[in-house]
A and B are shown apart, each in its own frame.
Chain A
Amino acid sequence: MRCERCGKELTNRIIKINGVTYCENCARLMGYDRFLRDPSDLLGNPFSPLDEIASSLMQMSELDFGNSTLTCPKCGMTLREFENEGRVGCIECYNTFNDNIIREMFKQQGNSEYAGRLPSQSADTEAKTAEVQVTRKPLPSKAGSDEAEQDNKQESKPEKKAEEPAKKEDSKSGLTLEQLMKADIGMLSDEDLEKGIKVAAEAEEYKLASRLRDELKGRKEGGSNV
């Protein structure tokens, strides 16, 4: 069953007023608060005055001091609903909540400018499945070597050896300026930050270099931020 005002699916409470089904939110917006009261109120709950005070306080915390009552004129979605669900209800919402949507996009992706293809046009891409050199090969036979000695060696430092490949991968390829500019600085290792400062300074991207330096300094002074 769905709310006849906003079309939202009804899950918890169904409120029927004058034959019309509302969700809790719409009933409240339509001013039918009295229908939303808990049944315990009707049973003479001795603590109902306390409940009312508590619910008033809870409602106060939801008071709007900004424009959170902003509502899409087409689909009835409120700004609060958008902020809670991260979804909009219709195309018009993009105009209604323009600032908030841009902020949300910026927060998630660090960008809000469209750079993709146009409808009905193919993307200009020549990206091909990368060729990864096959390193799969059987291990050389170790027959004839002192197996016991070898086993002992393997036992003595297995963890260290296992760690090496991941590290090798990191040190093999340096960060490019483009990667640095788009990277979440908090996610970079100290080593990458140090390298990044050099790369940014060489490219005369002093703002980026100083941001990287501040991050590194902050970590050294106040421990890891990660």
Chain B
Amino acid sequence: MSDWYLKEGKDNDVVLSTKACIVRNVKGYNFMPRLDDKECQSLLETIDKAIDKDTYMGGNAAQLDKETITRLTRLQILGREASQLVNPERKAFYYNDDVSLSITVGSGEHITVRAMAQGHDISVYKQAEKEAIELENKLDIAFSDNYGFLTSNVRLAGTGLKILYTVSLPAISKTEGGIAALTQRVGQYEWTIYPFAERGEIADSDVYIIASVNTQGVTEDEVLRRGEMLISDVIKAERACREEIASSKKEQSADIYGRSYGTLRYANIISRSEALQALGWLRLFHDYDESGEINLSWKTIDKLTMDILWEPGAPSRKASQSVASQKFRARGIRTILKGDE
């Protein structure tokens, strides 16, 4: 079965992925920061017994081999620096065939259920909810009538739900005041927007994450509805900006589009930020190219963008900027583009 992000979702010219994360804790155990190693082992065993092994594979993080770690990083279960693998004996990762569903144990909260889909697809919530309910039926989950689901991080207490849209906004980013206006709009929905970057990194792309904030005072339904209204606005705004740039600066845009494709297709050495900038231009002008000389599908643009965004190793790291790693990246891009021609 192909990995989740290789499928082609709705509105994937703008939305790279939709994710739903639900966190839960098990009654009778301290939360992670105050859980000693012995208790932690007991917690891991308790949760392991509750996980449906027909759906999920994986297990204790200490037993993950290098290949699996790389795969889980690329499939966005682990951060690029694999920081979740500190103290691996206290953590476990479970995932289904295409890794669209995963359950992380011991990373921040006892349980994090995650459902992911390529493009714009809010059905991920129902998938995550189904998995969460299964665990709620099998385990004694920490819940209070006043606060809802109890979590170590009090910002998550309540529904314990986060919805995240990863969006690529090259045109809004290139429009003066575009991101500021968008940030204001996102705030009106009580959501948040931040550039794609891991802790300590400098954002080096036009990719942003739009995430829900409230876990108290709102129902899950309200969160989803607001999210859908918001993401529709974002998609419309980005497409309008693309059309505006493509029509008002047609010649220049067509030129940069062609050059960007050339760079990606033929470069022997390419940095992460250069590749992401070039992909941003391909995304911006893709639907307006009249030359017909560049055959590139949205699926390929999305795959390349996500491959580079989630490539193991942060951009601040010297290793990912080394000639060898830039050469490796360029070769990977060339191979994919050659296959698409």
Contacts and interface: CB of A to CB of B under 8 A. Distances in A.
Interface in A1-52: 2, 6-9
B205 to A, nearest CB: 20
Contacts of A88: 31, 152, 154
A118 B239 CA distance: 39
A136 B287 contact: yes
A123 B236 contact: no
A160 to B, nearest CB: 9
B308 interface: no
B237 interface: yes
B175 A166 contact: yes
A159 interface: yes
Nearest to B163: A127
Contact of A87 (B120, B122, B153, B290): B153
Nearest to B28: A91
B125 A109 contact: no
Contacts of A86: 153-155
B181 A167 contact: yes
Contacts of A166: 172, 175, 177-178, 181-182, 237, 241
A197 interface: no
Interface residues of B, number: 91
Given A119-B136, A130-B232, A165-B244, A75 B34 contact: yes
Contact of B229 (A101, A130, A158, A168): A130
B34 A77 contact: yes
B176 A127 contact: no
A127 B221 contact: yes
A87 B33 contact: yes
Contacts of A125: 125-126, 219-221, 224
A8 B300 CA distance: 45
Interface stretch (B52-60, B69-77, B140-148, B257-265): B140-148
A136 B287 CA distance: 6
Given A104-B154, A128-B122, A89 B31 contact: yes
Contacts of A109: 155, 213-217
Interface stretch (A62-70, A182-190, A214-222): A182-190
A141 B172 CA distance: 24
Interface in B240-264: 240-241, 243-251
Interface in A70-105: 74-77, 85-91, 94, 101, 104-105
Nearest to B224: A127
Nearest to A95: B144
B268 to A, nearest CB: 33
Given A89-B34, A114-B147, A125-B125, A132 B236 contact: yes
Contacts of A158: 248-249
B184 interface: yes
Interface in A116-172: 116-130, 132-133, 135-139, 141-142, 151, 154, 158-159, 161-170
What's the interface size class on A, roughly? Answer: 35 or more
A86 to B, nearest CB: 6
Contacts of B158: 105, 114-116
A53 to B, nearest CB: 34
B106 to A, nearest CB: 13
Given A135-B239, A169-B185, A129 B176 contact: no
B188 A116 contact: no
Nearest to A155: B249
Interface in B247-294: 247-251, 287-288, 290
Contacts of A175: 188
A158 B249 CA distance: 7
Given A109-B155, A116-B220, 6 more contacts: A109-B214, A154-B251, A162-B174, A163-B175, A164-B244, A183-B190
Interface of B: 10-11, 13, 25, 27, 30-31, 33-37, 87, 120-123, 125-126, 129, 133, 136-137, 141-150, 152-155, 157-159, 161, 172, 174-178, 181-182, 184-185, 187-190, 213-222, 224-225, 227-229, 231-233, 235-237, 239-241, 243-251, 287-288, 290
Interface of A: 2, 6-9, 74-77, 85-91, 94, 101, 104-105, 108-130, 132-133, 135-139, 141-142, 151, 154, 158-159, 161-170, 173, 175, 179, 182-184, 187-189, 192
30 contacts: A86-B153, A86-B154, A86-B155, A87-B33, A90-B34, A91-B25, A101-B154, A105-B154, A108-B213, A111-B218, A114-B158, A116-B158, A117-B220, A119-B149, A123-B221, A132-B236, A139-B250, A139-B288, A154-B249, A162-B176, A162-B178, A163-B177, A165-B240, A166-B178, A166-B237, A166-B241, A169-B237, A173-B233, A182-B190, A183-B190
